[in-house]
Amino acid sequence: MFHYIVYCLGIFCMVLECIILLYLLQNMIYLGKIIRYFSLLLMYPILYPMQKLIRKSILNTFSIDLSPYVLLIIIFFLENVCDYLLTI
């Protein structure tokens, strides 16, 4: 049972990585209104708390939003933890 939960958490992290990468790609290259709306709709519940944390931290920059990058690093770490737990 534990392996199924960890496996599902790993898949969830992969999906979140794809959504964050789509959001970052959409910010660099204009992909259309529908993709922009879709990525913002999916990213807002994840991104808003991270933006609040970064505004109060040392990483606060006024010109660049670092919250998607920090979120991506955290999700990569969680995915590696899930992979490690599955190998045990």
Tokens of 33: 């209104």
Please write the tens of the pLDDT for every residue from 1-56.
889 999 999 999 999 999 999 899 988 888 889 888 888 898 999 999 999 998 88
Element (H, E) at 65: none
Count of alpha carbons within 13 Å of 73, Cβ hemisphere only?
Answer: 5
Whole-number pLDDT of residue 62: 80
Tokens of 55: 């505004």
pLDDT at 78 > cutoff 90: yes
Angle between helices 2-28 and 33-55 (to 10 degrees): 110
pLDDT tier for residue 59 given thresholds of 50, 70 and 90:
confident
**Measured in whole angstroms, how far is the alpha carbon of residue 44 from the centre of its chain?**
11
